[in-house]
Chains A and B, each alone.
Chain A
């Protein structure tokens, strides 16, 4: 089992391996490393399960008022977050309805905090121009983060 790959073969494969790693931008790796933070290990991720852009409904089923441009639904085991994009703002609703703190985290690191009303309704205005995600915490201990959203 001494020479499974010839020296040339081994070096050629090594060159390919090193090149594959070199192709990856350093900031891509840095972002991936940063995804792991101890504080957040108990955060539950809410997955995008519905996007009206991906599942266009028949016209008759969409409500006419106030010009909803897009609907997104994020689901985690304990909480569903529904978002409606209108011309000027985002309308959010937590299901089941409950009060929560909603943090809007933008890719650049900018943070804004919103509080929902008693039944879990919130608005975000203006609409974030860059990718963002929502981090919801409820007094009941729910700790939910959506995946990144680009509008």
Chain B
């Protein structure tokens, strides 16, 4: 499910000290770390603590991971553990004896992490493919996503209304041609066939 070639290449480069590769990894997976922390309902300062610890340890993991593509899974699991540790500490400080709301069976838990990872991976692939498009393509697609009518898009981008439809179609075609996105769509389809 992980876009293995991309992640592997980034981890290998980061391992050698390449800051750009690290930044790309962060951009890919910061939303994953963030969303897990949010799910625990932690205060912002606690979220920052958790994230600092997770990323610092991730730097150490770059060298330790035998399988570079395992990094996203490691990030998700570690973030979850850190969140749950801080969550319990806060509960204890407040003297609340309530059980953890997030107590789940190990099975449910690993399923949830798997879903979160899948969503993060799909989102990362989509964003990366989108980032490869021309500025015009990006603007047209963004405006369409916001439901802006063709007339207004034409006016804003200085294009004739008649050319927007075809341009949008070409932009989507380019998006669909992204190799990582193709791979993603193929896996998702074969999976739904398998379950359907």
Query: Given A36-B59, A44-B60: A28 and B89 within 8 A (CB)?
Result: no
Task: Select A20's contact among B17, B31, B48, beta carbons within 8 Å.
Answer: B31
Interface residue tally on A, bucketed by range:
35 or more
Task: Select A36's contact among B22, B92, B93, beta carbons within 8 Å.
Answer: B22
Chain B: residues with Cβ within 8 Å of the partner, total of 51
Does any Cβ of B come within 8 Å of A112's Cβ?
Answer: no
Assembly CA distance A13 to B23 (angstroms)? 24
Assembly CA distance A21 to B125 (angstroms)? 12
Per-position 1/0 for B23-37, Cβ under 8 A of A: 100110011011100
Does any Cβ of B come within 8 Å of A83's Cβ?
Answer: no
Does any Cβ of A come within 8 Å of B45's Cβ?
Answer: yes
With a CB–CB cut-off of 8 A, which chain A residues contact B34?
23-24, 28
Assembly CA distance A131 to B27 (angstroms)? 25
Does any Cβ of B come within 8 Å of A11's Cβ?
Answer: yes
A28 touches B51 (CB 8 A): yes
Does any Cβ of B come within 8 Å of A51's Cβ?
Answer: yes
Task: Select B126's contact among A1, A13, A31, beta carbons within 8 Å.
Answer: A13
Assembly CA distance A29 to B22 (angstroms)? 11
5 A-B pairs whose Cβ atoms sit less than 8 Å apart in the complex: A21-B127, A36-B14, A38-B19, A40-B59, A150-B46
Give the 3 A-B residue pairs with the shortest CB-CB distance, closest first.
A17-B123, A35-B55, A4-B185
Q: Using a CB–CB distance below 8 Å, which chain B residues touch chain A?
A: 14, 17, 19, 22-23, 26-27, 30-31, 33-35, 45-49, 51-53, 55-60, 85, 88-89, 92-93, 119-120, 122-124, 126-127, 130, 141-142, 144-145, 172, 175-176, 182, 185-186, 188-189
Q: Using a CB–CB distance below 8 Å, which chain A residues touch chain B?
A: 1, 4-5, 7, 10-11, 13-18, 20-21, 23-24, 28-29, 31-33, 35-36, 38, 40-41, 44-45, 51, 53-54, 131, 145, 147-148, 150
